[in-house]
Amino acid sequence: MDSVDLQVVRTARDWLAGGHRVVLATVIRTWGSAPRPIGALSAIRGDGMVVGSVSGGCVEDDMILRVREGRLAENSPVTTKYGVSAEEAQRFGLPCGGTLELVLEPLAAKSGLDQLLARIERHELVLRRLDMKTGETIIGPAKWQDQLTFDGAMLQTVYGPRWRLLIIGAGQLSTYLAQMAQALDYQVTICDPREEYSTTFDVPGVELKRGMPDDVVTELNLDGHSAVVTLTHDPKLDDMALLEALKSPAFYIGAIGSKKNNDARRQRLAEFDLSQQEIARLHGPVGLKIGSKTPPEIAVAILAEMTAIRNGVDIRSFVEPPKATTVGCAVE
């Protein structure tokens, strides 16, 4: 769940508490080129106020009109499609004939938004099951592998942070990276055993661990929804984390530093119990080549690379290729 959709849930809860009628729209299926992914949310208030997006705005205009007129999901959840025909796709501005299927849910006390938000704010991964006939909901813990499902009778959605980011180092760059990552659906953990850095680090919603990096990597039990970025410039700390992270299923592992420093790092790592395939997983220099100089720009470059990897985009033309490494040396 990204920060945009989290804001939808919070706003819908506040509107409902204020006595407004609210309809929550959830994307459950897409065909063709859809502007928003499955699970995206939008909430429409009875007077036409809207938050979030399921289409970039074009479909929302139609839903706003129907909510104002009392013609949309008045008593129980329903499904609807937009862009089924080429004419409708053009009318609603859907790209390339894209089609959306939505669940439209009239919210009420039984929708469980207070409980849902309380769990999300504790950084829990939450499973919400909506009975399409009664509008009743069941809220409980989710697993990383859980996905949105819909069988016509029950809508199952997953809320909360679905991705994790471990940052080694609590410096200025880490602050920008942590803040931006939170907006991209990451639950962020900072690891730094150095008191002079960790004492002053303070980013709301970010957990700070002061243990040694290799121990913290092991403790977090990284999975395919995890990323690790080392930012201390200190091999004693960065390499410790990488030695464990490169053996994990983490989808992204990156290290700060120049190409020369990262080539030297790969030589050091080759002296330990890492295979060539594991060392080759290291993204270093970390981030895409976009001319980054300042800490915020470097954070953007790192998150751009992580996003591309998450989305299966080939980034080879945007990164500096490392030298091939054999045990103890680099191949020219």
| Domain closes at, from 159, 174, 199 | 159
294's CB contacts (< 8 A; 6+ apart) are none
185 with 296, same domain: the answer is yes
Residue-wise pLDDT for 263-308, tens only, equals 999 999 999 989 999 999 999 999 999 999 999 999 999 999 999 9
Tell me how far apart the terminal alpha carbons of the chain are, to the nearest angstrom: 44
* Rounded CA Rg of the chain: 23
**193: domain range?**
163-331
63 with 82, same domain: the answer is yes
242 with 318, same domain: the answer is yes
Which of 154, 161, 201, 199 has the alpha carbon at shortest distance from 182? 161
48 with 25, same domain: the answer is yes
pLDDT score of 68 more than 70: yes
Q: How many CB atoms lie within 10 A of CB 15?
A: 20
The H or E element that residue 239 is part of is helix 235-245
176 with 245, same domain: the answer is yes
Task: For residue 220, give both structure tokens.
Answer: 């977090």
258 with 150, same domain: the answer is no
**Considering its fold, how many domains does the chain have in total?**
2
Task: For residue 177, give both structure tokens.
Answer: 């990276």
Counting Cβ atoms within 10 Å, is residue 178 exposed (0-12), middle (13-18) or buried (19+)? buried
Q: List strands edge to edge, sheet with 137-141.
A: 137-141, 126-131, 154-159, 149-150
168 with 208, same domain: the answer is yes
- Tell me if 93 sits within 8 A of 128, measured CB to CB: no
Residue-wise pLDDT for 151-198, tens only, equals 999 999 998 877 899 999 999 999 999 999 998 889 899 999 999 998
Q: What is the pLDDT of residue 248?
A: 95
Whichever domain contains 233, its CATH number is 3.40.50.720
75 with 170, same domain: the answer is no
